[in-house]
Amino acid sequence: MAVAGFLLLALLRTKIRYLGAGIAGLATVLVVVAPSEPPPDMVIAEDGNLVAIVRGQVLAPNRPHPPDFIFDQWRMALAAELDQPT
């Protein structure tokens, strides 16, 4: 929808081209307002050795010291922090 709006805006030379700006703006509003999917309850590494439970914005791994690479990818994707035991 946004691409169609930008194409109208860029390719047409009549006043109809301003309709493209409205269509692109509507597409932007729909993306912002549309409900998003809830985060997963659990994430599992591809080899199955690392698992983490997602509780809100906190990840609770099954290992005390999870591998940094995989866990950093999960943290960035879910905008979560590591559950540090005290």
How many CA atoms does the CB half-sphere of 29 hold within 13 Å? 6
Q: How much is the pTM?
A: 0.55
Q: What is the pLDDT of residue 86?
A: 43
Quote the CA–CA distance of 63 and 70 in Å, as a whole number: 13
Summarised one tens digit per residue, pLDDT across range 9-64 is: 999 999 999 999 999 999 999 988 988 788 889 999 999 999 999 988 888 889 88
63 Cβ partners below 8 Å, 6+ apart?
A: 50
